[in-house]
Structure 1
Amino acid sequence: MAYATVGDVQARLGRPLTPEEEQLAATLLDDVEAMIRARIPNLDARVVANENYRALVVMVEANAVIRVLKNPEGYRQETEGNYSYSLNVAAAAGYLLVLDSEWALLGASRGAWTIAPVVRSGAGCPPDPWVPGRCWP
């Protein structure tokens, strides 16, 4: 069961959901949580350790579902007569996804240019990359 609820989706959407939307939202919330757990296996431990982290998880899950509810067909642009409008590409996706910025909020961004710090324990010296067992000068 997802951390976010249908009520969280409804509150962020700013309108009541239809019964069909409620059913879809509940299913999508479970789906997006499965996506998050695939990248963050220790999700429950992080949520227990930090209440603010739980709020971020709820926000990310609800917003991912809202993107689908707002544009289930995935339209990017629509024209009728002299009237036309287009949607933001991220909002227009129409399918369930967690944005890179949301992964970053959850501390799980992974990409070609992600730099992760290496924490060394103990008072040892940095290893020489060319000579195993030797300290870097």
Structure 2
Amino acid sequence: MWATADDVIADWIGEDVPTNKALVSRWVARAERYLRREIPSLQVRVEGGAEPDLRATVVDVISAMVARVFRNPEGIRQRQETDGSFTGSITFAGDTPGELFLTDRERDSLLAPQDRKGAQTAFTFGPSNYAGGAHRPWCSLMFGAKYCSCGVDIAGQPIFEES
């Protein structure tokens, strides 16, 4: 287990702190199973220790997931209250209020660095049907086409698309 009921209770902000640790523990276990299904590499990465803050981030995410369930156990989308001339309204976030879910930001924080949204990666590619010779940089093969457009395939040197 990564997180405990005590983690959720310690992170709680505001009133109505859950007092049933057994119930909180069950929801923590559900949240952990959810994370293992959603991000299969997470277990290995946490145990590997190569990402120093990952375990703490996992605990933070589990705590937030469980807190969302406990703050809105009925799954209400919006609540309005009126008392005399005062009216208050609360709208709960998420597609499925009252259920376990990951926000996009939480999911991104748990993904491997190369899998995160906006992760920049460098790559190179070469011609798939390279037949020898010096193809022109603008030859179709340089862009993944099946056929040469500069003529190296048939003449051994560029004969089309001269500069």
With the length of structure 1 as denominator, give the TM-score of the two structures.
Answer: 0.72
1:84 shift after superposition: 2.9
Bigger-Rg structure (1/2) = 2
2:28 aligned with 1:26: no
Higher helix share goes to which structure? Answer: 1
Report the 3-state secondary structure (helix = DSSP H, G, I; strand = E; otherwise coil) of the residue aligned with 1:51: coil
**Identity %, equivalent residues:** 27
Aligned length: 122
Q: Which amino acid aligns with 1:33?
A: E
Query: What residue is the counterpart of 2:56 in the other structure?
Result: 55
Which structure has more RCO (C-alpha within 8 Å, separation ≥ 6)? 1
The answer to whether the 8 A contact 2:42-2:110 is kept is no
Given candidates 97, 100, 106, the residue that maps to 1:102 is 106
1:115 shift after superposition: 6.2
Deviation string, structure 1 residues 60-109 (Cα, Å, up to 9, x no partner): 0110000011111122213244433213424x81111111110011126x
Distance 1:35-1:127 versus aligned 2 partners, 3 A rule = farther
Give the ranges of 4+ consecutive aligned residues of structure 1 lying more than 4 Å apart after TM superposition.
Answer: 114-120
Query: What residue is the counterpart of 1:136 in the other structure?
Result: 142
Deviation string, structure 1 residues 97-135 (Cα, Å, up to 9, x no partner): 111110011126xxxxx5666665xxxx5044xxx3446
Q: Which runs of 5+ in 1 are unaligned?
A: 109-113
Given candidates 93, 100, 113, the residue that maps to 2:97 is 93
The answer to whether the 8 A contact 2:75-2:98 is kept is yes
Show the 5 A alignment for 1:3-42: 3-14=2-13, 16-19=17-20, 22-42=21-41
Deviation string, structure 1 residues 17-72 (Cα, Å, up to 9, x no partner): 322xx222211111111111112222222113223000110000110000011111
CA distance in 1, matches of 2:92, 2:65: 14
Q: Which amino acid aligns with 2:66?
A: V
Query: What residue is the counterpart of 1:78 in the other structure?
Result: 80
Q: Which amino acid aligns with 2:19?
A: T
With the length of structure 2 as denominator, give the TM-score of the two structures.
Answer: 0.62
CA distance in 2, matches of 1:119, 1:38: 29
Distance 1:47-1:11 versus aligned 2 partners, 3 A rule = same
CA distance in 2, matches of 1:116, 1:35: 24
Report the 3-state secondary structure (helix = DSSP H, G, I; strand = E; otherwise coil) of the residue aligned with 2:105: helix
1:7 shift after superposition: 0.6
Over aligned residue pairs, what C-alpha RMSD do you find? 2.8
